[in-house]
Amino acid sequence: MKNVKISDRELLLLYKQGDEQAFSMLLERHKDRVYTTVYLIVKDKYLAEDLLQEVFIKAITMIKADRYKDEGKFLSWILRIAHNMAIDQYRKAKRSPIIMMEDGSNIFNTLAFSETSFEDVQIKQDTHDLLKVLIKELPDSQREVLVMRHYMQMSFQEIAASTNVSINTALGRMRYALINLRKKLQQNTVAYDPKLYPT
Amino acid sequence: MTLNFTPHDALKCLYKEASNETEEKINIARKEYPSFNNEVLKLQSLVCSLDLFLIKAPVNTVDRILQYSKNKQVKSA
């Protein structure tokens, strides 16, 4: 079976009939987007791993119990589950903050102390790694809009309705998120421009 | 330079959510003002990077999900 030729709807139909290969394809197709969404909300890789598992377990349970009614929006549905679970976790974690190590592990699980510093950010020259750090540093409201627009593929109108704000507020948050990211990307690029720091 | 649209209009255009009329106004401004066009290009590049930015899901977790699915019974009709 070629992954690209079969729609989510067809894969779901096959999966409901017991075809595990169909589920494997669905998972392969959407796992990174779901993981990125929860990771950028909870900002902790271990928690994000648990959430990824919980999200798909919930989806599997609902599909196999025939409680999922497919309207051709599987990705939106699973991303909504992921978003809700991640927001719940994030709020819980905020109420009882855990001090994390730079690799995302709990400080109480290790003896060596280290903190994510600006220097750590600077040495991550790769744009992917840098974006990962910089998105995490955005204020919650800006990060939420960015995640919803880019990874949950929601329109600004939908984001405004979902977050109970006006469309102008949602647009303003996105605008500041982009401005902040661009500024920080420029700062980090300039900081490690080899032309400025010849060896 | 005086622009006849708001920053929010430009943002909607960037995300392909602007009306045709607004899009046209912005395209005219881009041709007229190179500095504005430059700003739009930089933001387009960032939006594109964000769209492409995905973090790889851990293999172990994916394996556990697949295993769970195999063990979970389908509800019989």
The verdict on residue A137 lying in a domain is yes
The answer to whether residue A193 scores a pLDDT higher than 50 is no
Alpha-carbon distance of A141 to B25, in angstroms, equals: 30
Total number of domains in chain A: 2
Contacts of B53 in chain A (CB under 8 A): 36, 128, 131-132, 135, 150
Interchain contact B17–A (C-beta under 8 A): yes
The verdict on residue A178 lying in a domain is yes
Contacts of A39 in chain B (CB under 8 A): 55
Mean pLDDT, chain A, rounded, equals 82
> Quick one: A95 and A135 in the same domain?
no
Question: What is the predicted ipTM?
Answer: 0.88
pLDDT tens for each residue of A149-173? 999 989 999 999 999 999 999 999 9
**How many Cβ atoms are within 10 Å of A71's Cβ, its own excluded?**
9
Average pLDDT, stretch B51-63?
Answer: 95
Element (H, E) at A85: helix A74-95
Contacts of B54 in chain A (CB under 8 A): 32-33, 36, 151
The verdict on residue A109 lying in a domain is no
> Quick one: A81 and A129 in the same domain?
no
Whether residues A27 and B65 touch (CB distance < 8 A) is answered with yes
**Residue range(s) defining the domain that contains residue A189:** 116-199
Tell me which of A60, A75, A147, A159 to substitute to probe the interface with B (most B C-beta atoms closer than 10 Å).
Answer: A60
- Phi and psi angles of residue B49, each rounded to the nearest 5 degrees, phi first: -60, -40
So what's the pLDDT on residue A101?
47
Whether residues A35 and B56 touch (CB distance < 8 A) is answered with yes
Q: Which of A36, A57, A149 is the closest to B54 by Cβ? A: A36
The verdict on residue A107 lying in a domain is no
pTM, 2 dp: 0.80
Min Cα distance A31 → chain B (Å) is: 6
Q: Give the model's confidence band at A96: pLDDT under 50 very low, under 70 low, under 90 confident, else very high.
A: low
Residue A122's CATH number: 1.10.10.10
> Quick one: A81 and A44 in the same domain?
yes
Alpha-carbon distance of B55 to B14, in angstroms, equals: 24
Min Cα distance A138 → chain B (Å) is: 14
> Quick one: A78 and A125 in the same domain?
no
The answer to whether A37 touches A58, Cβ cutoff 8 Å, is no
- Only one residue has tokens 């989510």, namely A8
pLDDT tens for each residue of A73-95? 899 999 999 999 999 988 887 76
Q: Give the model's confidence band at A21: pLDDT under 50 very low, under 70 low, under 90 confident, else very high.
A: very high
**How many Cβ atoms are within 10 Å of B47's Cβ, its own excluded?**
18
The verdict on residue A31 lying in a domain is yes
Tokens (6 digits) for A180: 């902040």
Residue A34's CATH number: 1.10.1740.10
> Quick one: A139 and A170 in the same domain?
yes
Percentage of residues of chain A with pLDDT beyond 90: 61
> Quick one: A64 and A126 in the same domain?
no
So what's the pLDDT on residue A72?
78
Alpha-carbon distance of A33 to A102, in angstroms, equals: 23
Mean pLDDT, chain B, rounded, equals 91
Average pLDDT, stretch A24-40?
Answer: 96
